[in-house]
Amino acid sequence: MTRPKQDDNKFKSFMQENVLTMATVIGVFVGGLVGFIIKNSTGEWTKREIMYISFPGEIFLRMLKCLIVPLLVSSITSAIGGLDLSMSSKIATRAITYYFVTTISAVILGICLVTTLRPGQGAKIVETQTESIDKASKVLTPDTLMDLVRNMFTDNIIQSTMFQHRTEIYENTSISPAQPMENWEFKAAQREGSNVLGLVMFSVILGTTIGRMREKGQLLQDFFTTLSEAMMTITSWVIWISPLGVGFLIAAKIIEMDSIASTIQSLGWYFITVMIGLFLHGFGTIAVIFFLGTRRLPYRFIAKLSQVLATAFGTGSSSATMPLTIKCLDNMGIDPRVTRFVIPVGATINMDGTALYEAVAALFIAQYREMSYSFGTIVAVSITATAASIGAAGIPQAGLVTMVMVLDTVGLEPKDVSLIIAVDWLLDRFRTTINVMCDALGTILVNHLSKNDLASVDRLNAEPHELLELGANGHEMKE
Helix/strand/coil for 129: coil
Where in the sequence is the domain holding 406, given as residue range(s)?
17-459
In a domain, 12, yes or no: no
The CATH number of residue 234's host domain is: 1.10.3860
Tell which residue, 308, 249, 238, has the closest CA to residue 63: 238
In a domain, 381, yes or no: yes
In a domain, 7, yes or no: no
User: What is 191-212 written as a DSSP string?
Assistant: EES--HHHHHHHHHHHHHHHHH
In a domain, 477, yes or no: no
In angstroms, the CA 119 to CA 113 distance is 9
Distances (CA, A) of 473 to 67, 208, 470, 476: 31, 28, 5, 8
In a domain, 479, yes or no: no
In a domain, 2, yes or no: no
Tell which residue, 110, 99, 109, has the closest CA to residue 348: 99
In a domain, 429, yes or no: yes
Q: What is the pLDDT along the chain (479 residues), one digit of tens a residue?
A: 555 666 566 666 666 667 877 888 888 889 989 988 888 777 778 888 889 989 999 999 889 888 888 988 999 899 888 877 778 888 989 999 999 999 999 999 999 999 998 887 766 665 555 555 555 556 677 777 788 788 889 899 999 888 888 888 877 766 666 677 777 788 888 888 788 888 888 998 999 999 888 889 899 999 999 999 999 899 888 888 888 998 998 888 888 876 666 666 667 888 899 999 999 999 999 999 999 999 999 999 999 999 899 999 988 888 889 999 999 999 899 998 899 889 988 888 888 888 898 889 888 888 888 887 777 778 888 887 777 776 555 444 455 667 777 787 777 777 777 778 777 788 888 988 999 999 999 999 999 999 888 877 666 555 554 444 445 555 455 55
Q: What is the pTM of this model?
A: 0.81
In angstroms, the CA 378 to CA 384 distance is 10
Domain count, the chain: 1
In a domain, 314, yes or no: yes
In angstroms, the CA 90 to CA 59 distance is 39
